[in-house]
Amino acid sequence: MKRITQGGAVSGVEERLRALFVRGLDGDAAAYRAFLDDLTRHLRGFLRKRIYYLQDDIEDVVQEILLAVHNSRHTYRPDEPLTAWVHAIARYKLMDFFRARSRREALNDPLDETLDIFATSDEEPADARRDIGKLLDQLPERHRLPIVHVKLQGLSVTETAALTGMSESAVKVGIHRGLKALAAKIRGTA
């Protein structure tokens, strides 16, 4: 949809399309069909220049624009250029297409590939171990040892009780109270 020039070829296209469209609005079905056929050819050219890298999608976008033109035909004001009105509709439909395409692509992105960028830090495990170690060092041994053995090393409560000389219930209480104390330290309320 090029800008209308005085006496140029585009002006002739504007006049032809406008005449067919207005006759179609007045009930001339053949004129309206001719308008849609001509407009389809112009829209394909318009879109081939703008989304040349998405040739497979051009026909879908053309159909969306034609449908919007048809559904909005009552909004056209005959004293305004038809091409400007159609261009505005086409521009909005093209933006809708890009929004829908980006949502579709985002939904199709495998999460594993996206999250790989966060899984390759060299410093993160060492930093986390150091930070946890500092926090655990602030706990009394009766809380620290059960957390280290059960939560970090993966031993069972029974194994930890045998290793530390504590009762199984003391190991469970130590984990519970220790984790509660760690949470308070992290929040800054301890």
Q: Produce one character per residue of 121-135: b if its CB has 16 or more CB atoms within 10 Å, e if not.
A: eeeeeeeeeeeeeeb
Consecutive H or E run containing 157? helix 157-164
Nearest to 50, CA basis, from 87, 84, 16: 87
Give the domains, in start order, of the chain with CATH numbers.
9-111 (1.10.1740.10), 124-187 (1.10.10.10)
pTM across the whole model: 0.50
**Along the 190 residues of the chain, how does pLDDT read in single tens digits?**
444 444 455 578 889 999 999 999 999 999 999 999 999 998 988 888 888 888 888 899 999 999 999 999 999 988 888 988 998 999 899 898 888 887 766 666 555 554 445 544 455 666 767 778 888 888 999 999 999 899 888 899 999 999 889 999 999 999 999 999 988 888 877 6
Which tokens is 169 given? 């219930």
